[in-house]
Amino acid sequence: VVFAAGSVVTVMASTRYASVTLDGKAEPVMEINSADTSAILKQAGVSAGAEDVVLRTDEEGGNIDLTVKTAKRVFVSADGSRQSVLTHYGDTAADALKKAGVTLGANDAVAPSLTAKVESGMEISVRRRYSVSITADGKTKDALVWEGTVSDALSQAGITLGTQDTTDPDVGAAVTESMKIKIARVTYKDVTSTQPIAFTTTTRRDSSLDAGTKTVTTQGQAGVKTVVTHQKLCDGKVVQS
């Protein structure tokens, strides 16, 4: 403000004010002598850490608004890994996932909820859920299963494996989106059959017979033997015997 009095001109500095908001709580408005951000925070008794965010707005007339958002380290667990993520006051679990580079599928589950406000040390977990198809016993059905192994998926789908059954992929393989799981029912059986045994001929010399004469003393008869074949069947078809 400039005041003119005769030939003497006096310049008076305008009064400036600052407001500081810390994590959503407004501190009392105060008159300031310095426009330096650090000086204003110190005057307000607010300490900003190295990872905190300080937003400054300079208004017309010289007044200053400072908004401080304190840092909050959270931990995001997804896809078998756990990482520390820097967030700030006001952020949500959804913001933390975005900063962690985690993209959610349509069927995935998050705990706590995506709208939950972050707190220091918060654990945010993502559980994947996949759409798979399972073929067994001549039928194919679709199922939604949680992340895990093929064995886990079959259990969730209510399908029981026999001790000799096989799967493709293997039961220990990790489930993925749109995976096609096929089950082969394996059984074994013994098949009994008979096979003929040809008789053998034994020739003996007999001095009582004329030269060149042959006689049959005992008529030969073909024998029979029993054969047991052990067969392996997949879905009712013999694949090995």
pLDDT digits (tens, 9 = 90+) for 21-48: 999 999 999 999 999 999 999 999 999 9
Is residue 39 helix, strand or coil?
helix
pLDDT at 10: 39
Residue 158 CA to its chain's centroid (Å)? 21
The pTM of this model reads 0.70
- Write out the two tokens for 222: 């073909």
DSSP type of residue 131: E
Q: Examine the pLDDT at 6 and tell me if it is beyond 50.
A: no
Amino acid at site 84:
S
pLDDT at 1: 17
DSSP type of residue 214: -
Q: Give pLDDT tens digits for 88-129.
A: 999 999 999 999 999 999 999 999 999 999 999 999 999 999
Residues 226-239: what's their mean pLDDT? 86
Query: Do the beta carbons of residue 171 and residue 149 sit within 8 Å?
Result: yes
Q: Give pLDDT tens digits for 131-186.
A: 999 999 999 999 999 999 999 999 999 999 999 999 999 999 999 999 999 999 99
Amino acid at site 56:
R
**Alpha carbons 130 and 145: distance in angstroms, whole number:** 5
Alpha helices by DSSP H, the chain: 37-44, 93-100, 150-156
pLDDT at 144: 97
- Write out the two tokens for 147: 């992340």
Q: What are phi and psi of 212, to 5 degrees?
A: 85, 0
